[in-house]
Amino acid sequence: MNFSTMDYFVALAEEKSFTKAAERLSVTQQTLSAHIAGVERELGVRLVNRKVPLTLTYAGDVFLGYARRFQALRRTMGQEFLDIAKDERGLLGVGIASTRGHMLMPATLARFQREHPGISVLLHESENQELISLVKEGRVDLAVATVPDDEPGLVVRRLCREKIVLILTEDLLRESCDDVDEARREAARGNLAPLARCPFMMLGKADEPGAIARRILERSGVKPWNRVFSKNSETLMDLAARGVGACFVPRALALGAMGRHPEAGLTAVGLGDDAAITISAAWRDSDHVWSVILAFYELLADELALGESAMLRLDADNVARGVRA
């Protein structure tokens, strides 16, 4: 076994195909197959079931864990020597949910590239639990996600609290309840019963806004009329602007949509202090943390602070235009 063994096996496990893994690694299928067979002989176990689709044996699952930890350790070693040599170059892997990435990454990455021109950034967009797994396995260097402060194996730094609101048109709000002011007051207490007949548009259960929405609706005793299901908040926002239904999204995203669609008469209904998500940055707890990871975290925290100020200004503009948020 050598360094290539780990790369070969991880690629095979992820692609679930000798053909696709060989293409990804730029080697022949015969070379890859022979290499894996050699590892199996060396270990005295079968690592893969050579069927379609390819699957790992129990021994293969165990070996995959070692291979990923080995890759992460090798990556950390390389990063430490880059720091020792004061050679700021390389590839930074950042994991983030697609909606959050849409809100945070453009300004952050533009500034990061100006300040760290030798660093390339590879974004991995996925759901929250997958992001935690990616950073633990060393497949990304840093994850921006909802992560428990005491998550084993990770260093977790809180970035912000992200409020979730219900956004819909003023017309739909009036149609969906008997008393708009009462509906807003009850929603602010976490009770959506007055909006029981409102058509909702839902994110997936694995998305934090989707999970919060389901929790509030269940607690309110509302069996929702779900008009649309989607994994894409931007799609739901555009549908909300057309009066199709109401959706649960981060407040920053809602305010942005209200600014983009002033003609739609969008309004955001607050859902109380409990309807919020703690967003953190997390990276592997190792003997050495690449200076670039820390630099990206500090820049991201700074951009979030600037974004909060901008959101307050946008909020004030909406109030001046008579838009309730």
Do the domains 90-159+279-313 and 162-276 sit in the same CATH topology, yes or no?
A: yes
How high does pLDDT run on average in the chain? 88
Please state the rounded mean pLDDT for residues 198-206: 87
pLDDT at 246 over 80: yes
Per CATH, domain 90-159+279-313 is 3.40.190.10: yes
pLDDT at 318 over 50: no
Pick the CATH number of 3-71 from 1.10.3720.10, 3.30.70.1140, 3.30.590.10, 1.10.10.10: 1.10.10.10
- Residue 3's CB is within 10 A of a number of other CB atoms, namely 10
Range name among 62-71, 85-94, 124-133, 140-149 with the lowest pLDDT average: 85-94
Q: Give residue 242's Cα distance to chain centre.
A: 27
Is residue 51 helix, strand or coil?
Answer: coil
Does an H or E element contain 74, and which? Answer: helix 58-84
The per-residue pLDDT for range 247-289, each reduced to its tens digit, is 999 888 888 888 888 888 999 999 988 899 999 999 999 888 8
Pick the CATH number of 162-276 from 3.40.190.10, 3.10.520.10, 1.10.3470.10, 3.30.300.30: 3.40.190.10
- Residue 314's CB is within 10 A of a number of other CB atoms, namely 16
Helices 251-260 and 98-115, interaxial angle, to 10°?
90
- pLDDT bin (cut points 50, 70, 90) of residue 4 is confident
The set of residues, in sequence order, having a beta carbon less than 8 Å from that of 241 and lying 6+ positions away, is: 169, 257, 261, 264, 266
The per-residue pLDDT for range 223-242, each reduced to its tens digit, is 888 888 888 888 999 999 99
Q: What DSSP line would sit under 208-239, residue for residue?
A: HHHHHHHHHHHHTT---EEEEE-S-HHHHHHH
Considering all CA atoms of the chain, what is the largest pairwise distance in Å, rounded to the nearest integer?
A: 73
For the chain, the domains span 3-71, 90-159+279-313, 162-276
Residue 210 contacts residue 237 (beta carbons within 8 Å): no
Q: Give strand pairing partners of 122.
A: 93
Q: Determine the pLDDT at residue 220.
A: 93
- pLDDT bin (cut points 50, 70, 90) of residue 323 is very low
